[in-house]
A and B are shown apart, each in its own frame.
Chain A
Amino acid sequence: MDFQVVVLAGGNSKNLTPLVSKELPKPLLPVANCPVLYYVLHQLEQSNLKDLIVVVEGEDAALLVGAWISGTFIDRLHVEIAAVPEDIGTAGALRAISHHLTAKDILVVSGDLVSDVPPGALAATHRRHDAAVTTMLCSIPVSGPSESGSSGGKDKAKKLGRYNIIGLDPSKQFLLHIATEIEKDARISKRILHAVGQMEMRSDLMDAHMYAFKRSVLQEVLDVKDTFQSLKEDVLPYLVRSQLKSEALLNRTPQGEENGNEKVSSQNNQAFISRILANASTPSFHGIYSKNPDGSSSTRKTHKCCVYIASSSSYCVRLNSIQAFMDINRDVTGDADHLLSPNNIIGPSPKLGTKTTVGPNCRLGEGSEMGDKCQVKRSIIGRHCRIGSHVKVVNSVVMNHVTIGDGCIIQGSVICSNVQLQERVELKDCQVGAGFVVTAGSEYKAESLAKKEK
Chain B
Amino acid sequence: MDPRRTARTVSDPKVRQVGFFTPAPPERSVSDPPRFQDPIQPPSPSPTQVNDHSPSGNSLSPVMIPPAHHHSDNFLRTALQATSPTKAFSYSAKTVTIPPENEDVASSFSPGRKVVSAKSPSSFPGVKASSVPASELTTVSVVNLPPGISEKAGGASVEVQNDRPVSAKTLKEKTSKAERRALQEAQRAAKAAAKAEGTKASSAASKVVTSANTKPSKAAKSSSQKNDGSQVAASEKKGGDRAPEKDRKKDAPHPRMQYDDKSRVEKAKKRAVVKQTEARNRVELFRHLPQYEHGTQLPDLETKFFELDPMHPAVYKVGLQYLSGDIRGGNARCIAMFQAFKEAIKDYSTPPEKTLIRDLTARISSYVSFLIECRPLSISMGNAIKFLKNRIAKLPLALSESEAKSTLMLDIDRFINEKIILSEKVIVKHAVTKIRDGDVLLTYGASSVVEMILLHAHELGKHFHVVVVDSRPKLEGQLLLRRLVRKGLSCTYTHVNAVSCIMQDVTRVFLGASSVLSNGTVYSRVGTACVAMVAHAFHVPVLVCCEAYKFHERVQLDSICFNELGNPDAISKVQGRKEINYLDGLVNQENLQLLNLIYDATPSDYVSMIITDYGMIPPTSVPVIVREYRRDHLWS
Contacts and interface: CB of A to CB of B under 8 A. Distances in A.
Contact of A1 (B316, B332, B333): B316
Nearest to B329: A280
Given A1-B306, A120-B304, A282 B321 contact: no
Interface string B576-597: 0000000000000000000000
Interface string B300-331: 01111111110001001100110011111101
Interface string A243-275: 000000000000000000000000001001100
A277 B332 contact: yes
A279 B335 contact: no
Contacts of A127: 305, 313, 316-317, 320
Given A1-B305, A128-B324, A273-B335, A294 B448 contact: no
B434 interface: no
Interface range for B: 35 or more
Nearest to B317: A127
B524 to A, nearest CB: 15
Contacts of B324: 128
Interface string A111-148: 00000001111011101100000000000000000000
Interface string A273-304: 10011011111000000000111000000000
Q: How large is the interface on A (under 10, 10 to 19, 20 to 34, 35 or more residues)?
A: 20 to 34
A77 to B, nearest CB: 13
B417 interface: yes
Nearest to B311: A1
A282 B306 contact: no
B257 interface: no
B336 interface: yes
Contacts of A295: 483, 486-487
A280 B327 contact: yes
B309 A48 contact: yes
The prevalent SS among residues of B at the interface is helix
Contacts of B328: 280-281
A437 interface: no
A3 B327 contact: no
Contacts of B305: 1, 47, 118-121, 123-124, 127
A41 B477 CA distance: 48
A273 B421 contact: yes
Given A281-B328, A282-B326, A124 B302 contact: yes
Contacts, number: 94
Interface string B335-360: 11001000000000000000000000
Contacts of A273: 335, 339, 416, 421
A332 interface: no
Contacts of B446: 279
B498 interface: no
Contact of A293 (B313, B327, B421, B486): B486
B299 interface: yes
B178 interface: no
A4 B474 CA distance: 37
A2 interface: yes
B307 to A, nearest CB: 5
Interface string B479-511: 100010011000000000000000000000000
Contact of A280 (B313, B331, B486): B331
A391 B400 CA distance: 77
B451 interface: yes
Contacts of B486: 293-295
A49 interface: yes
A296 B316 CA distance: 32
A120 B299 CA distance: 10
Which of A1, A47, A276, A295: most chain B Cβ within 10 A? Answer: A276
Interface of A: 1-3, 47-49, 118-121, 123-125, 127-128, 269, 272-273, 276-277, 279-283, 293-295, 311
The 9 residue pairs across chains A and B that have the minimum distance between CB atoms: A120-B305, A280-B332, A295-B486, A124-B302, A118-B303, A121-B302, A280-B329, A124-B305, A48-B306
Interface of B: 299, 301-309, 313, 316-317, 320-321, 324-329, 331-333, 335-336, 339, 416-417, 420-421, 446, 448, 451, 479, 483, 486-487
19 contacts: A1-B308, A1-B316, A47-B306, A47-B307, A120-B302, A127-B317, A128-B321, A128-B324, A269-B416, A272-B421, A276-B335, A276-B420, A277-B336, A279-B451, A279-B483, A280-B327, A280-B329, A281-B326, A311-B299
